């Protein structure tokens, strides 16, 4: 039997924010699902999270095979195709967001978290950057599949403090990794086996920043096997607690699976790219940008190398100025 999933996802701006900087990515055809939580101000945050989702969409639908076969992008790990493309897509998203922010003063400082699931046969790839989370919903509890890239998570690793104590720490929401804030990025990845009936939760910190794992699980239990009700209940719980942030949630349930011989892969961090690899990624971004321009007939969201437009403009102005000087010189 082929892999079959039931997936429901929703996003809500909450009760305080004027807009929604979260972005929900649901691609049932390629079985790729992601939550992105943008930052850097209303306009910039929306752009960053949307660009991350758009990159996943384009790479899986248009460049799956080409990306898989590009030796310049390989990172020496035996992963399922969907996991390989997921990691490459996240790296490309980081580079595209960083380049666009570098080239546009209005977008300086923008970035986004990402947490993504990529299903293939009976395997599930989980990749993330930032503090959006993935969980497996088990019989009696939530099992975390990600660890936050945040200042408070780093403190909890090195100091023995409770979740309650951590919740009162000033600056606890500061994240230590995000897409777009640096020219390269570290991505955490793991690969697990799944079985029929397994259920997974993705969420932005609009939920997990205002409820602990036990509270989230208690809300899930009240919904029984109704996945849409699970999503609705969790959004309502976040809003009942003030709705201070955007809230985005995906629930994915495995209905049927196909077998695979690949083993599970323990959590590892894909290291930040070298200068040589960044150049290869920029070539890909140029290619993707051309595709988007042809498709939309308008300005693409994904930019190529930073400052390229500015450099070309300066060069053009220099040529014009030189021509003017030569013209007046010949008139004398």
Write down the pLDDT at residue 313: 38
Name the DSSP class of 72. G
Intervals of the chain under pLDDT 50: 304-329, 331-332
In a domain, 59, yes or no: yes
In a domain, 319, yes or no: no
Total domain count, the chain: 1
Write down the pLDDT at residue 5: 98
In a domain, 197, yes or no: yes
Angstrom distance (rounded) from CA 118 to CA 292: 23
In a domain, 316, yes or no: no
Angstrom distance (rounded) from CA 329 to CA 243: 68
pLDDT tens, 206-215? 999 999 999 9
The CATH code of the domain that includes 217 is 3.60.40.10
HEC string of 266-292 equals EEEEECCCCHHHHHHHHHHHHHHHHHH
In a domain, 321, yes or no: no
Write down the pLDDT at residue 154: 80
In a domain, 325, yes or no: no
Phi, psi of 203, rounded to the nearest 5 degrees: -155, 150
Q: Give 103's contacts (C-beta < 8 A, 6+ positions apart).
A: 303, 306, 307, 308, 309, 310
pLDDT tens, 24-67? 999 999 999 999 999 997 689 999 999 999 999 999 999 999 99
Maximum alpha-carbon separation in the chain: 90
Domain that holds residue 54: 4-304
The pTM (predicted TM-score) of the whole model is: 0.88
Write down the pLDDT at residue 314: 39
Angstrom distance (rounded) from CA 96 to CA 114: 14
* Rg of the chain in Å (alpha carbons): 22
In a domain, 331, yes or no: no
């Amino acid at each position: 039997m082929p892999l079959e999933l039931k997936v429901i996802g929703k996003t809500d701006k909450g009760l305080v924010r004027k807009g929604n900087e979260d972005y929900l990515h649901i691609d049932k055809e390629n079985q790729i699902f992601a939550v992105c939580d943008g930052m850097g101000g209303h306009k910039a945050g929306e752009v960053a999270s949307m660009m991350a989702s758009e990159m996943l969409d384009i790479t899986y639908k248009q460049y799956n095979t080409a990306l898989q076969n590009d030796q310049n992008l390989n990172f020496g790990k035996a992963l399922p195709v969907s996991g390989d493309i997921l990691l490459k897509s996240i790296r490309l998203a980081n580079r595209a967001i960083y380049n666009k922010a570098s080239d546009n003063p209005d977008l300086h400082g923008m970035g986004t978290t990402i947490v993504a699931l990529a299903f293939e046969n009976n395997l599930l790839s989980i990749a993330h950057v930032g503090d959006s989370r993935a969980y497996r919903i088990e019989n009696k509890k939530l099992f975390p599949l990600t660890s936050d890239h945040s200042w408070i998570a780093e403190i909890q690793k090195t100091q023995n403090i409770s979740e309650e104590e951590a919740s009162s720490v000033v600056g606890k929401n500061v994240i230590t990794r995000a897409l777009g804030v640096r020219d390269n990025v570290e991505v955490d990845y793991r690969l697990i086996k799944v079985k029929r009936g397994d259920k997974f939760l993705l969420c932005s910190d609009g939920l997990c920043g205002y409820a602990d794992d036990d509270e989230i699980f208690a809300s899930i239990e009240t919904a029984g096997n109704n996945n849409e009700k699970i999503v609705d209940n969790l959004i309502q719980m976040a809003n009942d607690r003030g709705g201070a942030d955007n809230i985005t949630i995906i629930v994915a349930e495995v209905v049927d699976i196909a077998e695979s011989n690949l083993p599970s892969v323990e959590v590892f961090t894909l290291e930040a790219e070298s200068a040589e690899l960044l150049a290869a990624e920029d070539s890909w971004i140029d290619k993707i940008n051309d595709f988007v321009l042809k498709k939309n007939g308008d300005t693409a969201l994904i930019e190529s190398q930073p400052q390229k437009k500015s450099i070309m403009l300066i060069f053009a102005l220099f040529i014009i100025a030189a021509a003017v000087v030569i013209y007046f010189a010949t008139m004398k």
